[in-house]
Structure 1
Amino acid sequence: MSIQVFILSRLMVEKTYPYKLKKQMTEPIPLDELGGITESKLYYHFDALAKKGLIEPVEVIKEEHRPDKQVFEITTKGKEELPKKIYQLFKSANDINDIVIGLANLKYVDPEKVVALLNARLAEYKAHWDRIMNFENTSKRDRKSENLNELLVGYFTTKSDHTIYWLEEAIIQIEQGNL
């Protein structure tokens, strides 16, 4: 979903083709590597968006000794769907990684609605984590099992605290108009 939001948001700015978009993702930081986005994934999502009528090819660039490059632009339907896809990112977010593309494209959505979605998601996340932490396992464990349990509880507690902190920080930054 976030790859499609990324593609649609880039096409809101300019017509482009998958290879060019992939190159743009490497500078100034390697977003493609951080997000695990390969050229084949980009081509797949360009194709999927075209099949849904959200983007369309408008030009073919032919260069000698190079493959043809199909240039795409966003359609009216794509412009209507982009905010819905961004809201869906925020609605289904499990951590900050899931909303990075949405945060970068807040200009296409209502920030107050995003804050409401993130607050709801944060409340669900906290409630879920509280249920997990309040689960009492009364089974007898040996020392190695106990050590493993402590290690995992420590890891997941730290991860949960980190997620909660950054979701709250994102909400604050949106509310203050900083993003």
Structure 2
Amino acid sequence: MSIQIFILGALTEGEHSPYDVKKKIVEVLNNKIEKASEGSLYYQFDVLCKKGYIEKKEVVHSDNRPNKTLYGITAAGRDKLIEDIYAEFQNFTSVPALYTSLLFSDVVDKQKLSYLVEECIQKLKKRSNDSVISNAHLIPENKKKSIELISNHILDYLEKDIHWMENLLLYLREQED
């Protein structure tokens, strides 16, 4: 979904061709969006166009280059973008999965997004609590140190993610005003 969010978000900022959006993905996210190959990007443009979320605006002709089709977002596309951003936070799995949605969070209600971020923080805290080994007496002696190291690593990452989400929450609350 993040590639569609990126396309729709980019089109809220103006008309673009698939090639222009690909350049933005490389510039902004260092091409870290899953399935952001040129072929899949053009496919996603076709999908979004068929669903009425974007539309062809203009074909730019050039003598020494192939024609370039510029696309714009529709009202339905703006609604879809907002819906998808909320869904990314509601279905939170990891912090990196939120990066694309965060880039275009200026189009959503900050108060609602703050509420969703609070829910994400609670999920992370629950994961952190669930990660604590409560049945240490059941672990074979020769595995205890390995499991302790694994558990500590998991907890360290969860603490960093919680801290990041809390900073995001502060940022969003500042934007609410």
TM-score (norm 2): 0.85
Query: What secondary structure is seen at the aligned counterpart in 2 of 1:6?
Result: helix
Displacement after TM superposition at 1:87 (Å): 1.1
Task: Assess if the C-alpha contact under 8 Å between 1:118 and 1:167 holds in 2.
Answer: yes
Task: Assess if the C-alpha contact under 8 Å between 2:59 and 2:69 holds in 1.
Answer: yes
Which amino acid in the other structure matches residue 73 of structure 2?
A: I
Query: What secondary structure is seen at the aligned counterpart in 1 of 2:62?
Result: coil
* 1:52-88 CA distance string (max 9 Å, x none): 2101222333434544332211112112222111111
Range moving further from structure 2, 80-89 or 128-137: 128-137
Equivalent residue runs for 1:1-179 within 5 Å: 1-27=1-27, 31-36=29-34, 37-64=36-63, 66-143=65-142, 145-177=143-175
Give unpaired runs (5+ residues) of structure 1.
Answer: none
Which amino acid in the other structure matches residue 123 of structure 1?
A: Q
How far apart are the structure 2 equivalents of 1:16 and 1:96?
28
RMSD: 2.3
Displacement after TM superposition at 1:15 (Å): 0.9
Distance 1:24 1:124, change over 3 A: closer
Range moving further from structure 2, 42-51 or 152-161: 42-51
Which amino acid in the other structure matches residue 152 of structure 2?
A: G
Range moving further from structure 2, 88-97 or 11-20: 88-97
How far apart are the structure 1 equivalents of 2:124 and 2:74?
36
TM-score (norm 1): 0.84
Which amino acid in the other structure matches residue 160 of structure 2?
A: H
Task: Assess if the C-alpha contact under 8 Å between 1:9 and 1:105 holds in 2.
Answer: yes
Which amino acid in the other structure matches residue 147 of structure 2?
A: N
Stretches of 4+ moved more than 4 A in 1? none
Give unpaired runs (5+ residues) of structure 2.
Answer: none
How far apart are the structure 2 equivalents of 1:11 and 1:160?
34
Task: Assess if the C-alpha contact under 8 Å between 1:95 and 1:167 holds in 2.
Answer: no
